Chains A and B, each alone.
Chain A
Amino acid sequence: MKKYALSLVLIVAGAAMIAYQNFFSGSINDLEVKIVNTPLVMPAAYKVYGNPEAASGRYYLFKMLLTNNGSRPIKNVKASYEIPKFVEETELDKISVINPGQSIVVTCYPQFKDDIVTKTTSSKERAKITIASAGGEKEEEFAFEIRGRNEFVYTCINTDEIRSYKDMYDNDPLTACFITPEDPIIKYYTQQIQQKVLKGETASVTNDPKEAVRFLLGVYQATNISGMVYSGTSGVPSKLDDVQSIIQSVRLPREVVTGNTGLCIELSILYASVLMNAGLDPIIYLIPGHAYPGIKFQGQYYAIEATAINGDGLGGRGTAEQAFEKGMKQLNEFIKAAQMGDERYNIIDVRELNAQQIRPMELKDDQFMREKVEKIATAWESGALPANAGGTMVAANTAGNNNDGGGSVPPPNPDGGGNSGGGGNSNMLAYNGVVSFSYPRGWQGMRSPNPGVPQLVYAFVSPDQQGYLQVYSVPGAANGNQAMQAIQQQLYAQGQEVQFQNAGSNGNFQMFQGMTTSDYGQLPWQAYFKKTGSGMAGLVVASQSGGHNGVFQQVLSTLR
C-alpha cells in the first residue's frame, strides 16, 4: 500500500485543485463595485423612477458596476438595496456567476410607495446596498436627497456639463408627473365645470373644434368666477452635489383649486389635468419666464392665457374671450420663435409623455377638499358659459386674413416656415410664411415633410390625398430658375427627376410648369416663385388625379 502513497497524494491534490476551482466561490472581496447615482429624487416622479421603461430608463436611482478582479468565479451573487423609511430591503438582481474579469451592471429603479407624495419637505437620505455571495458579503452606501412633493428641480445635469437653455430645463418632461387627471378631487372639479359652467359638453366625442374651445373657455370661466387669483411661489437656485438648478415649488392642481390661487405653470398644470380628464389632448406652451395652457385638436393647436384672471390687486380680470384671444396671439408669437429655432420655446405634450410612461402621481380622495370644490362650484351657476361661446371664439380667431390674428395653428417646428391662421372666408384658412395664400379648410398641413429636401418648408394635402400645395424657400437663389435648379438637384439625389420650363410671370411671381418622374409615376405641377430678402420662395400646386383646378384657382388668387 505504501508504494501507492505518492500516486494517491497526486490524485487527491489534483481533485482538490479542480474542486477548489469549480465548487468554491471566489471571495466577495475580489468584487470591485462602482456606483453612479442620481443626486436627488422628486417624489412627484416616483412612478418614473420605478419604471425601467419610462423615458427609456434614464431616470434610475443608481446603477452599479460589479467587476470580478479575482481568479475564481464568484457564484450566487445577490444584490439588494434599502432606503430606510422609504423602501424596505429589496432584491435587485440574482447573478448565478461572475467570471474572473467579467463585469455586470445592476440598475436600480426604486419602488417607492404611493405615500411618498405626502412628503412635503426635503431630506437627505441614504441608500444601503448589500452584495452577498457564497464567498461573503459586502455593503455599500450613498447619500442623495428626496425633495418635497411640490418641488420641481429643472435639471439634474452636472453644472460643468450645462451648455444651453435646454440643458437647464432638462427635467421638463417630468412636469407631466404633476398633471393629475385621475386625482379624485380634479375629477370632481371637472364634473362640476361640465355641469355648472358648460351645462353639458361634447368636446371629446365630436370633431367640432368649437366644442373643444368652449371647454377651454369653460375652465377659464370656472377659475375666473370662483375668484381665483394669480400668485407666485418660491423658485430658488439651489446647489445639490454637482448639480445647480432652480427648484420651483409647484402647487398640485388640487391645491390650486382649493387654495384658489396659482402661478402660470400651476394654472397650466391645472388646465392640463382638467382637459385630460375630459378626454382632450392638453398642451403646455413653455416660453422664457412663462407658461400657458392649450389643446391640440384635430392636428390644430389652441391656447388660452390662464393668468388673465390676474386678481383685483393686479389690475382686474380678463374675460374668457380676452384670455383666449391673448392665448392665440401668444401662440402665433410662439410659432414664429420656434420656427426661428429658438429652443426656449417648447411644448409639453401630455399624452405623448404619458405614452413614454411618464405618469402622474397617485393621490387619494379627501372629503375636506371635495367639500371645498363643492363650495367653490356653487358660485358657477350664475356664470355659466353661453352655448355658442366656443363657436364665436373660433370664428373670431379664424376669420380675417391677417398676420396677427389668431386662428388654429399647426404644431411648432423650428425647421419649418410659416403658420396657418384665419382665411378670407369660412371655407378657407390662411397660410402666412415666406409666401401667403388661403387654402381650403380640411386640407392637412405638415412642416418640413421631407427632411431630405430642406427647401420644402410646408406642405398641404387634400382630404382625398390627391391634391398638393407645397411651399418652398430657397435661400441664396437669385431667380426662379436658380431656385428650381436647386430643388431639381436635391430631388435628383432622392431618385426623382424633375423637368421644368419657364411659363412667364404674373406680378411678382415667376411661373414654371413641369413634371416629376419617380418610382411613383409622373406628376405634373405648376410653380410660382418670388424674390425674398434672402433668396426665392414659392408655391407649387399639383394634383395626382388632374383635378382640383377650381381649388387651385382660389388658392392662386390669394397668393402674395
Chain B
Amino acid sequence: MCNIITAQEIKPFKINLEFTLDEYGNSKVIYSCKMNASQWDNFKRSTGNNQSLLKREIEKGLPAFFLSDFEYKEDAMDRSYSLSFNAKGVATINSKGKWVVDLDAKNPDVTKLSDNTYMMITESSAGGQLIQTTNKLVFPESATDIKEEKDSFGKAIFTFDMGGSSGMGKAMQYGGIGLIVAGLFLGWRKSKQA
C-alpha cells in the first residue's frame, strides 16, 4: 500500500534458523535475528530480562520436538541475539529404512548450498509484520543420497541414507564378519595341508 514520503518498500523482519543434524537424527538448532533500533526497543520491552519467554514461545512453535539445553546470547551493541537449543527426534527412519526430515511446508523453494547443506526461505506475517525466515538444514557428514520428496499429504520431506549402528553394534557386525573370514581362512589352510 501507500507510502508518500515512503514509496512503499516493506522490509521484513528477518530470522535465521539453522538445524544441524547429528547421526542420531537429533539436531542442534540456532535461532538468531538482528533488528533495527525500534524493533530492538520493542523486543527489550516485551522480553526484558526474561529470556525464558523466548524459550516458551519456541516450545509452543515446535510441538513436534523435545527441546533442551537452551542458551541465549545477546549482542546489544549489534542489536542481535541468538538462541541455541537441542531438538530431539527431528529425523526419523521410515519403513524403507530411509531417514526422513519433515519440512512442514508445501512446495518450498529449497536451494542446495553444498552436498550436505540446504536452505529455504519462508515468509509469514504476524501482528501486521512481514517475517522472513531463512531456514538452513545441515545434514551429517555420513548422510548420502539426500533427496527432496513429498509425503502422503503433499508436504515436502528430505530423505537420506545414514549408517545407524552404535559402536557396540558395529563391533558385533565387524566381529561376526571377522570370525567368518577367519573360519574360512582356517578351513582353506587345512584343506591345503591335506
Residues A450 and B10 in contact in the complex (CB < 8 Å), given A104-B92, A459-B2, A468-B2: yes
Residues A450 and B93 in contact in the complex (CB < 8 Å), given A14-B179, A58-B60, A161-B52: no
Contacts of A103 in B (CB 8 A): 24-26, 66, 88-89
Contact, CB under 8 Å: B53 / A451 = no
Interface of A (DSSP majority class):
mixed
Contacts of B4 in A (CB 8 A): 459, 468-470, 516, 523, 525, 540-542
Binds A, one of B69-77, B106-114, B138-146, B160-168: B160-168
Contacts of A493 in B (CB 8 A): 36
Output the least CB separation between A457 and chain B (Å).
12
Binds B, one of A4-12, A193-201, A324-332, A377-385: A4-12
Contacts of A95 in B (CB 8 A): 92-93
Q: Which of B2, B4, B175 has the most CB of A within 10 A?
A: B4
Contact, CB under 8 Å: A56 / B61 = yes
Residue A72 at the B interface, CB < 8 A? Answer: yes
Binds B, one of A129-137, A206-214, A285-293, A494-502: A494-502
Output the least CB separation between A169 and chain B (Å).
15
Instruction: Give residues of chain B (75-132) contacting chain A, Cβ–Cβ below 8 Å.
Output: 88-89, 92-95, 97, 128-130
Contacts of B169 in A (CB 8 A): 21, 71-73, 100
Residue A519 at the B interface, CB < 8 A? Answer: yes
Residue B172 at the A interface, CB < 8 A? Answer: yes
Residues A525 and B5 in contact in the complex (CB < 8 Å), given A65-B89, A450-B10: yes
Contacts of B173 in A (CB 8 A): 17-18, 21-22
Output the least CB separation between A403 and chain B (Å).
25
Contacts of A459 in B (CB 8 A): 1-4
Contact, CB under 8 Å: A11 / B9 = no
Instruction: Give residues of chain B (139-194) contacting chain A, Cβ–Cβ below 8 Å.
Output: 164-166, 168-169, 172-173, 175-187, 190, 194
Contact, CB under 8 Å: B5 / A470 = yes
Contact, CB under 8 Å: B64 / A15 = no
Contact, CB under 8 Å: B183 / A10 = yes
Contacts of A496 in B (CB 8 A): 5-7, 9
Residue of B nearest to A454 (CB): B38
Q: Report the Cα distance A117→B32, complex, angstroms.
A: 43
Contacts of A16 in B (CB 8 A): 176
Contacts of B93 in A (CB 8 A): 95-99, 102
Q: Please tell me which one of the listed residues B53, B166, B183 contacts residue A7 in the complex, with CB atoms under 8 A apart.
A: B183
Q: Please tell me which one of the listed residues A449, A452, A469, A514 contacts residue B36 in the complex, with CB atoms under 8 A apart.
A: A452
Residue A363 at the B interface, CB < 8 A? Answer: no
Task: Tell me the total A-B contact number using a CB cutoff of 8 A.
Answer: 218
Contact, CB under 8 Å: B6 / A516 = yes
Contacts of B39 in A (CB 8 A): 451
Contact, CB under 8 Å: B64 / A107 = yes
Q: Report the Cα distance A525→B2, complex, angstroms.
A: 13
Contacts of A19 in B (CB 8 A): 176
Q: Report the Cα distance A96→B93, complex, angstroms.
A: 7
What 1/0 flags go to A95-115 for Cβ under 8 Å of B? Answer: 111111111110100000000
Contact, CB under 8 Å: A494 / B11 = yes
Output the least CB separation between A441 and chain B (Å).
17
Residue A372 at the B interface, CB < 8 A? Answer: no
Q: Which of A21, A461, A469 has the most CB of B within 10 A?
A: A21
What 1/0 flags go to A443-479 for Cβ under 8 Å of B? Answer: 0101111111110100111000100111000000000
Q: Report the Cα distance A22→B94, complex, angstroms.
A: 17
Contact, CB under 8 Å: B187 / A4 = yes
Contact, CB under 8 Å: B94 / A102 = no
Residue of A nearest to B180 (CB): A14
Q: Please tell me which one of the listed residues B53, B64, B181, B187 contacts residue A105 in the complex, with CB atoms under 8 A apart.
A: B64
20 A-B residue pairs with CB within 8 Å: A6-B186, A13-B176, A14-B178, A14-B179, A18-B172, A57-B64, A58-B63, A67-B88, A95-B92, A96-B93, A102-B24, A105-B88, A413-B128, A451-B11, A456-B6, A461-B1, A461-B2, A465-B2, A491-B6, A516-B7
Interface residues of B (CB under 8 A from A): 1-11, 13, 24-26, 36, 38-39, 50, 52-53, 56, 60-61, 63-66, 88-89, 92-95, 97, 128-130, 164-166, 168-169, 172-173, 175-187, 190, 194
Q: Report, nearest first, the 3 A-B pairs whose CB atoms are least far apart.
A: A14-B179, A10-B183, A17-B176
Given contacts A20-B172, A100-B165, 9 further A-B contacts (CB under 8 A): A7-B184, A11-B184, A60-B63, A65-B89, A101-B166, A163-B50, A451-B130, A469-B4, A540-B4
